[in-house]
């Protein structure tokens, strides 16, 4: 969940650390901090909230010419967001930053307190630095002390540690949370980061650490504790995410969906079939069931795909929330294809579910946006969504590209199983090619959402309702509104309203009704009429006029329900964003959330 960076070299250490943290701030912004070392003096700077607060402290107080440093941006798991709980954490002469959770920290903390160690924070991380110093006091050897520390820790953790008693080195270790080690472009320069972004432009040769790999680095060498590593090459340049005139990254990313979906399909739709270079048709051989596992927005994409897999591929498909799946003692059989979905490829619950499936001998596939992520390195096969960097914490283009990839995968399997006619395949491929047009945003529709948003700033909640694939779209619409506006919203299958939820209907209950022309229109129309009769305020989204709507958003008439799906997706995203803006919220960094959930 958190982001960590490290640097050894002769350049401006504080600037490199702060620039790196800017690239990782989406991973958490409860607090941030750096520890920088010169000779045997360590200076520490911490600040609550966003990174700009830390920058102000550093620019005011920091010296220059530090030899090395480590940095951290935090999403709180253990302990409230306070400066005492902010990383780096300190002992008497050492500092550590950590991404993950130390599951046995309470036992370790009690043991260390009994030996005279004094703790100042509420975090699990602080045990690491005290444990290191405890071993160093016994062994008088920093490397042996660090190795002994690692052996005592349980959980998921990536660690960077520096110490005054060995002031030219950074100790590092990775288990369960991402960490990259890089040789800098300058001579005698080493960098560390939780992801590629802080390293691009500063380094070209990197090691994406596997679980259980650690070591110690100095300016002129990197010593790994084992042989389970390999060097890779970073891109030489990148197009950093810029707002390009948009008010928020989320707004930019909503508008980018048309182009990234085109990129997502590039080279994968040819003539009368779907081609995936990443997988063979044999992946579906012997498969009687598909099980999809994901969290949040990715779960909604998977739920959408379950309709498409059964409808098009004629294969049984179940969808599981990863955080629940891990603990239900699931029955896993080898005739199941296990598909996980994640924007980052680091989502802790989903990653652990993937490992369970691997250990059970299932075929595994990950749909992901980040190559070289933990999931892509674990699964048997990977299909990348090609969505590009998504800076906004609330996912937008991740959802649209995941849905398109899974739709294409359903067609890929349908062709491999010979269960789809030539006519239906041609219709589906034609529709896929039209999706980028459906995701293009007209000034008219965006202005409509801006005007409409002022009507929906109060009330006691929202129902988002839909049927078939529009039910998971309703879930996603409700999630977007909750994430960035902090208003209560729920997604429901429209037919379930009369089984309890309709009891809440009154004028202060807002119903966002997804009413596609090409799929169960009469059914959803009847459900909305029931809500209207109970005085719920109705906002209908449809290509067909609906007289009972208090507010009506007209989308283009289409000849396929999936084109309506993507047009409605745009409306829901824009409406949520405009409501949030009117409420004065930070759309890109909603409270209590982080982009990549790398802890349970």
At residue 191, the 3 state secondary structure works out as strand
| DSSP β-ladder status, 68-74 and 3-8 | antiparallel
Active site residues: 2, 595
- How far is the C-alpha of 68 from the C-alpha of 6, rounded, in Å? 8
Residue 12 backbone zone (phi > 0: left; psi -120 to 50: alpha; other: beta): beta
CB neighbours of 264 closer than 8 A, spacing ≥ 6? 385, 386, 387, 401, 404, 405
Q: Count Cα neighbours of 359 within 13 Å in the Cβ-side half-sphere.
A: 9
- How far is the C-alpha of 15 from the C-alpha of 7, rounded, in Å? 10
Residue 578 backbone zone (phi > 0: left; psi -120 to 50: alpha; other: beta): alpha
Q: What angle do CA 310, 316, 318 make, to 5 degrees?
A: 100
Edge-to-edge strand order for the sheet containing 68-74?
A: 41-48, 31-38, 68-74, 3-8, 190-193, 180-184, 203-208, 232-233
Helix (H) or strand (E) holding 148: helix 142-152
* Neighbour count for residue 467 (Cβ, 10 Å): 20
CB neighbours of 331 closer than 8 A, spacing ≥ 6? none
- Is it true that the peptide bond before 80 is cis, omega within 30 degrees of 0? no
Helix (H) or strand (E) holding 125: none
Q: How far is CA 349 from CA 99, 362, 511, in A?
A: 15, 18, 32
Q: What angle do CA 153, 159, 164 make, to 5 degrees?
A: 105
């Amino acid at each position: 969940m958190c982001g960590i960076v490290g640097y050894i070299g002769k350049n401006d250490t504080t600037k490199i650390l702060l620039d790196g943290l800017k690239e990782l701030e989406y991973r958490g912004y409860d607090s941030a901090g750096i520890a920088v070392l010169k000779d045997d003096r360590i200076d520490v700077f911490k600040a609550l909230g966003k990174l700009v607060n830390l920058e102000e402290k550093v620019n005011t107080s920091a010296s220059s010419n530090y030899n090395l440093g480590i940095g951290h941006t935090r999403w709180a798991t253990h302990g409230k967001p306070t400066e005492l709980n902010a990383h780096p954490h300190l002992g008497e002469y050492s500092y550590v930053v950590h991404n993950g959770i130390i599951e046995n920290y309470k036992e370790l903390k009690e043991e260390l307190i009994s030996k005279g160690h004094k703790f100042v924070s509420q975090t699990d991380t602080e045990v690491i630095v005290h444990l290191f110093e405890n071993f160093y006091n016994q062994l008088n050897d920093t490397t042996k002390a660090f190795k002994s520390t690692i052996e005592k820790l349980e959980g998921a953790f990536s660690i960077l540690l520096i110490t005054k008693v060995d002031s030219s080195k950074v100790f590092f270790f990775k288990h369960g949370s991402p960490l990259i080690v890089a040789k800098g472009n300058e001579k005698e320069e080493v960098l560390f980061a939780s992801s590629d972004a802080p390293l691009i432009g500063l380094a070209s040769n990197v090691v994406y650490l596997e679980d259980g790999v650690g070591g110690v680095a100095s300016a002129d060498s990197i010593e790994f504790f084992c042989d389970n590593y390999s060097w890779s090459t970073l891109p030489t340049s990148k197009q950093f995410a810029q707002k390009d005139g948009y008010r928020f990254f989320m707004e930019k990313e909503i508008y980018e969906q048309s182009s990234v979906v085109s990129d997502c399909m590039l080279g994968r739709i040819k003539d009368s079939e779907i081609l995936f270079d990443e997988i063979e048709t044999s992946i579906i051989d012997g498969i009687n069931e598909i099980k999809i596992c994901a969290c949040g927005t990715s779960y909604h994409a998977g739920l959408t795909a379950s309709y498409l897999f059964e409808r098009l591929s004629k294969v049984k498909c179940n969808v599981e929330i990863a955080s629940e799946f891990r603990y239900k003692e699931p029955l896993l059989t080898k005739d199941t294809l296990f598909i996980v979905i994640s924007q980052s490829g680091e989502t802790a619950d989903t990653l652990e579910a993937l490992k369970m499936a691997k250990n059970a001998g299932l075929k595994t596939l990950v749909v992901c946006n980040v190559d070289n992520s933990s999931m892509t390195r674990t699964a048997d096969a990977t299909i990348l969504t090609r969505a590009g960097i998504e800076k906004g914490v609330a996912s937008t283009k991740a959802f649209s590209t995941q849905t398109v990839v899974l739709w294409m995968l359903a067609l890929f399997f349908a062709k491999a199983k010979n269960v789809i006619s030539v006519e239906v395949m041609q219709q589906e491929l034609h529709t896929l090619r039209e999706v980028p047009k459906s995701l293009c945003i007209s000034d008219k529709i965006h202005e409509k959402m801006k005007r409409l948003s002022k009507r929906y700033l109060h009330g006691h909640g929202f129902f988002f309702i839909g049927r078939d694939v529009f039910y998971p779209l309703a879930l996603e619409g409700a999630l977007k509104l909750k994430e960035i506006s902090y208003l209560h919203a729920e997604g429901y299958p429209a037919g379930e309203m009369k089984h309890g939820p309709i009891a809440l209907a009154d004028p202060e209950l807002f119903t966002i009704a997804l009413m596609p022309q090409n799929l169960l229109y009469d059914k959803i129309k009847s459900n909305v009429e029931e809500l209207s009769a109970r005085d719920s305020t109705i906002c209908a989204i449809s290509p067909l006029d609906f007289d009972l709507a208090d507010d009506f958003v007209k989308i283009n008439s289409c000849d396929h329900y999936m084109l309506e799906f993507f047009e409605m997706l745009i409306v829901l995203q824009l409406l949520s964003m405009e409501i949030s803006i009117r409420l004065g919220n930070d759309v890109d960094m909603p409270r209590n959330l982080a982009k990549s959930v790398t802890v349970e």
